[in-house]
Amino acid sequence: MLEFEDSKLYQLLRYAKHGIFVWIGTGQHGKTVGVNVFANHPLFADRQIVLINYPPEFVDDNYPSNYRAEYWPDSIDDIVDILHPSRDFVIIDDAAWLVGSRDSGTRENKDIQKLMTIASHHELFVAVTIQNTSMMDISMFQSQDVYMMHKHMDPIALEFERPMTKTRQIVANVMLQDYRYKYPKIHPKAFTYCSTTWEMLQMPMPDWWTSKHSKPYYGRIPGRRSSAQECDA
């Protein structure tokens, strides 16, 4: 089994200072834990992990000290106040809420596309999770180096995938299923297929991870501030 340090992806990233990671797959198949395990790899040890639009109190109470939550700003001009060049690894979980293909005209969506064009200037790594790339604005793929990371996708959802991703996801589904059968003692969410380098990666889940970390929006709407936070703002 391929350890991440022995992978082609690791070799690509060893000297990289920026990039876009797209984690795709049906809900509850390990996208959120996968991207968090990845962001915590020693390769990114000098960076803080920024969870966009996560409830700040949830992050403060349940995540290690190298995490912080930030709300997406009302103006792109304020992005430098929440993201630190060369020092942050940015995660946008359930990205359809910010960069949805049906919301391409919204301010938030346009601002993120603008940020993507200069992510390399700021030396930022940005990771998004999405159930299907057809749900995401295509501009997310057009500005920087993109690394495609796959979890299992439901066959019905697969029928609606974009052509550029569909074949990749079919291969990923087959490989993920094969590895789950071959290694039944390993948690299935520990496997991620990278179709950028066409290889299976195995990254153990962290000891501190629990089921609630996979559902940060339980009882909430992404990006919606609490009443107390609205007053503070």
pLDDT digits (tens, 9 = 90+) for 134-192: 887 676 666 678 899 999 999 999 999 888 899 999 999 999 999 999 999 999 999 99
pLDDT of 58 reads 93
Query: What's the distance, Cα to Cα, between the start and end of the chain in Å?
Result: 49
pLDDT digits (tens, 9 = 90+) for 44-86: 999 999 999 999 999 999 999 999 999 988 888 888 888 999 9
User: Domains in the chain, ordered, with CATH?
Assistant: 4-232 (3.40.50)
The residue assigned the tokens 């995938």 is 161
With cut-offs at 50, 70 and 90, classify the pLDDT of residue 99.
low
Q: What is the CA radius of gyration of the chain?
A: 17
Query: What's the predicted TM-score (pTM) here?
Result: 0.88
